């Protein structure tokens, strides 16, 4: 079963209102931002196993002693994009400093944000073949290399997917 955000009636109303208002928007002109956390020992939430339902489930942790992680804040657009290693607060300050207006995004709507898909692509490539890293610098280098290797066509396709995302939301 896929995990999804819990939506209240108010969330649903704001999402539908957002979709209706923005159906004709030119999304190619938008800059998308998000933050991602990368861990030395692999990504969060990817562990699963089969077990006998008649027995108690087992719990696993690879981070018994904390490990290490890297938090990145990235921007993407349909055109070439910068990469930034910042926190969300610093990211918002960056957008303000460069007079980039912030769209009033509906709550609980990661399914609408194309950069979420870009984050998934990054995670798949950084941790391909269950890769783990020994140092934060090694992890940072891998993330930057993967980010730089992303084809601009992928970003364009993600931006162009917004009308269908909004239509899916409206059609329910």
One digit per residue, pLDDT tens: the chain, 172 residues? 556 668 899 999 999 999 999 999 888 888 888 888 898 888 765 555 566 778 777 655 555 555 688 888 877 776 544 444 445 666 677 778 877 777 888 888 878 888 889 989 999 999 998 888 989 999 999 999 999 999 888 988 988 999 999 999 888 7
- What CA–CA distance (Å, rounded) separates 2 from 48? 13
Locus of tokens 């957008």:
95
Tokens coding 112:
């609408």
Mention the CATH class of domain 30-43+53-171. Answer: alpha beta
CA distance 149 to 125: 10
Domain borders along the chain are 30-43+53-171
Specify the pTM.
0.72
């Amino acid at each position: 079963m896929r995990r999804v955000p819990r939506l209240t009636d108010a969330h649903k109303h704001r999402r539908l209102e957002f979709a209706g208002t923005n159906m004709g928007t030119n999304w190619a002109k938008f800059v998308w931002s998000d933050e991602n956390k990368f861990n030395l020992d692999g990504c969060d939430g990817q562990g699963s196993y089969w077990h006998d339902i008649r027995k108690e489930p087992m719990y696993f942790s690879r981070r018994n002693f904390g490990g290490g992680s890297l938090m990145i804040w990235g921007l993407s657009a349909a055109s070439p994009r910068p990469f930034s290693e910042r926190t969300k607060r610093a990211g918002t300050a960056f957008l303000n400093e460069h007079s980039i207006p912030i769209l009033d995004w509906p709550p609980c709507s990661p399914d609408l944000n194309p950069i979420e898909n870009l984050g998934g692509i990054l995670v798949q490539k950084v941790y391909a073949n269950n890769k783990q890293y020994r140092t934060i610098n090694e992890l940072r280098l891998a993330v930057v290399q993967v980010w730089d290797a992303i084809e601009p066509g992928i970003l364009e396709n993600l931006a162009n997917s917004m009308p269908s995302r909004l239509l899916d939301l409206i059609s329910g």
